[in-house]
Amino acid sequence: MNKKYVVETGVGIFVVIALICIGYLSVKLGDVQLFGKDSYPLKARFSSVTGLRTGNDVMISGVKVGQVTGIVLDKKDFVSIVNLNIQEGINLSDDSLASIKTSGLIGDKYINISPGGSGFMLEPGDMLIETQAPIDFEDLVSKYVFGDAKE
């Protein structure tokens, strides 16, 4: 065997292994889903989604059960419609409450779902109507500073 052929084959194998490793790390660290997890879509209607972004978590009792997949404006009612993907097996009733919370003082926003108790379960694509917009700290501070806060 030619020595040049052996070196080129070794370098080629090394490059292929390195590319596979880089691809694997990109998928794992980037939280990319190649085949997708078993989930179903839901929507939630909010009066304001200040600070919420696509990719933020959806949680129940502090456990991640989904992800925000999109935010659009309903041009008819001028409310925000948030598209969610919820893990399969998490059954939510139609009176569940979705609220936008902040992790820490200046952390990322996430949607917290408080499950309801009615017997009517939401189907894929249904809308969560019971929602609570995030607290606007700037508005609260300005009311306090300028004396408009009620005691």
The answer on 106 and 52 residing in a single domain is yes
User: Is residue 125 assigned to a domain?
Assistant: yes
Q: What are phi and psi of 142, to 5 degrees?
A: -65, -35
The answer on 58 and 10 residing in a single domain is no
- Listed in sequence order, the residues at least 6 apart from 100 whose beta carbon sits closer than 8 Å to its beta carbon are 46, 49, 51, 52, 109, 110, 111, 112, 132, 133, 134
User: Is residue 143 assigned to a domain?
Assistant: no
> In 3-state terms, what secondary structure has residue 70?
strand
pTM: 0.68
The answer on 123 and 91 residing in a single domain is yes
pLDDT at 150: 56
Q: How many domains does the chain have?
A: 2
Answer yes or no: are the C-beta atoms of 66 and 112 closer than 8 Å.
no
The answer on 101 and 27 residing in a single domain is no
Instruction: Give me 22's structure tokens.
Output: 């880089």
User: Is residue 146 assigned to a domain?
Assistant: no
pLDDT at 70: 93
The parent domain of residue 67 ranges over: 39-134
The answer on 66 and 100 residing in a single domain is yes
- pLDDT (tens, 9 = 90+) of the chain, 151 residues, equals 677 888 889 899 999 999 998 988 887 776 655 555 688 999 999 998 888 899 999 999 989 999 999 999 989 989 999 999 999 988 898 889 999 998 877 778 899 999 888 878 889 999 988 888 877 767 777 777 777 655 5
